[in-house]
């Protein structure tokens, strides 16, 4: 009988952490899941086997890290999944030290990969230099570049923060007045061509081994609701799969990486790369691509991973209540 594996998930008040937890509950081996958050009424805390309140990583980063290490050592945590992007970026900057002090695998990429992928401008520039397809993009403070973008593509255009997630702060601007208004609202913005058609948006999960080689992938054609995937269809598309794997390999990512793109008239165009699992992790797990389980098998148990067999199907997301 396999020993129970102690696992820690941070950020249990958000969709990411809860999705990771649900996927772990589907895994083929027993896990004891510890959850953390800054908020006592974070819903995911009440779904874990044990829950802890940690200091706010944004305002007390040093205290947060010290308490996190203390918790990992006390509970003999084998692997940690970061359930918020703020925590992920902090952990990435201190990954090696934290792993040494805590004894736990920090399932985050290194600081350079994380900071590049979390900045949409840097991502577009990086992938373009690697010869991968990205939207035509400019920084709005470069007025001549913005004018040329408008000349090339006209309206509508996309305005969004360079660093955000879940479609936060994203605006589809149909004209100059709306563009100017959006640029007042969005600080440190990026402006991009609008990729069409709307119904050809895909999210691709790619799992990379310790040498940044792809061990498997899953493609969802998706529809968004509230910034999250609320309906997804598993699809097979070798061109999309190849493009997403090329992006993951270009970043030299390790573990799960999430590539978002649209299938346009000129082929797949990547508009975002997340150096982590996504809020649709639980959906992927249901169809056979369980990223938390793959991470434990690869980075904790040291197993040889064979590409998971992904089954076909449709996932639909809805609100769910928890009473305490």
Which residue bears the tokens 């605006």? 171
Tell me the chain's radius of gyration from C-alpha atoms. 20
Distance between CA atoms of residues 139 and 120, nearest Å: 11
Structure confidence at residue 1 (pLDDT): 52
Distance between CA atoms of residues 51 and 73, nearest Å: 15
Structure confidence at residue 78 (pLDDT): 98
CA dihedral 102, 103, 106, 112 (to 10 degrees): 80
Domain assignments of the chain as residue spans, ordered by start: 5-108, 136-193, 197-316
Beta bridge partners of 232: 222, 315
Distance between CA atoms of residues 265 and 101, nearest Å: 50
Residues 6+ apart with CB under 8 A from 272: 120, 123, 259, 260
Residues 6+ apart with CB under 8 A from 204: 217, 218, 219, 220, 240, 241, 244, 258, 259, 260, 261
Domain 5-108 = CATH 3.40.50.20 = yes
Structure confidence at residue 236 (pLDDT): 97
Distance between CA atoms of residues 78 and 48, nearest Å: 16
| CATH code for the domain defined by 197-316 | 3.30.470.20
Structure confidence at residue 320 (pLDDT): 85
Structure confidence at residue 226 (pLDDT): 82
Task: Tell me the C-alpha to C-alpha distance, in Å, between residue 203 and each of 61, 217, 268, 271.
Answer: 31, 10, 11, 10
What is the CATH superfamily name and number for domain 136-193?
Answer: ATP-grasp fold, A domain (3.30.1490.20)
What is the chain's pLDDT, residue by residue, as a tens digit (324 residues)? 578 999 999 999 999 999 999 999 999 999 999 999 999 999 999 999 999 999 999 999 999 999 999 999 999 999 999 999 999 999 999 999 999 999 999 999 999 999 999 999 999 999 999 999 999 999 999 999 999 999 999 999 999 999 977 678 899 999 999 999 999 999 999 999 999 999 999 999 999 998 999 999 999 999 998 888 999 999 999 999 999 999 999 999 999 999 999 999 999 999 999 999 999 999 999 999 999 999 999 999 999 989 999 999 999 999 889 998
Which parts of the chain are beta strand (E)? Answer: 5-9, 31-37, 50-53, 79-81, 105-106, 137-138, 157-161, 171-173, 189-193, 201-208, 214-225, 228-235, 255-264, 267-274, 314-316
Angle at CA 227, nearest 5°, toward 224 and 233? 30
């Amino acid at each position: 009988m396999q020993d129970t594996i102690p696992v820690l998930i941070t950020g249990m008040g958000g969709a990411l952490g809860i999705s990771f937890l649900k996927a772990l509950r589907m895994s083929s081996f027993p896990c004891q899941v510890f959850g953390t958050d800054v908020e006592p009424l974070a819903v995911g805390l009440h779904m874990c086997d044990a829950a802890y309140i940690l200091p706010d990583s944004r305002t007390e980063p040093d205290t947060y890290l010290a308490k996190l290490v203390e918790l990992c050592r006390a509970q003999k945590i084998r692997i940690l999944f970061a359930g918020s992007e703020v925590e992920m970026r902090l952990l990435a900057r201190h990954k090696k030290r934290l792993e040494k002090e805590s004894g736990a695998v920090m399932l985050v990429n290194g600081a350079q990969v994380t900071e590049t992928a979390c900045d949409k401008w840097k991502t577009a520039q990086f992938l373009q230099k690697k010869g991968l397809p990205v939207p035509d993009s400019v920084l709005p403070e470069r007025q001549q570049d913005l004018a040329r973008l408008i000349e090339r593509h006209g309206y509508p255009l996309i305005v969004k923060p360079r660093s955000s997630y879940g479609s936060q702060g994203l605006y589809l601007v149909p004209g100059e007045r709306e563009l100017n208004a959006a640029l007042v609202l969005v600080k440190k913005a990026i402006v991009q061509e609008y990729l069409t058609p709307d119904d050809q948006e895909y999210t691709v999960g790619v799992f990379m081994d310790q040498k940044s080689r792809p061990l498997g992938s899953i493609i969802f054609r998706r529809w968004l609701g509230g910034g999250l995937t609320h309906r997804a269809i598993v699809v097979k598309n070798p061109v999309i799969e190849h493009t997403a794997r090329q992006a993951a390999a270009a970043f030299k990512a390790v573990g799960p990486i999430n590539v978002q793109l649209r299938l346009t008239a000129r082929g797949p165009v990547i508009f975002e790369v997340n150096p982590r699992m996504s809020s649709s992790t639980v959906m992927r797990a249901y169809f056979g691509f369980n990223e938390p389980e793959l991470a434990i098998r690869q980075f904790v148990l040291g197993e040889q991973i064979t590409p998971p067999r992904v089954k076909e199907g449709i996932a639909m997301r809805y609100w769910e209540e928890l009473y305490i």
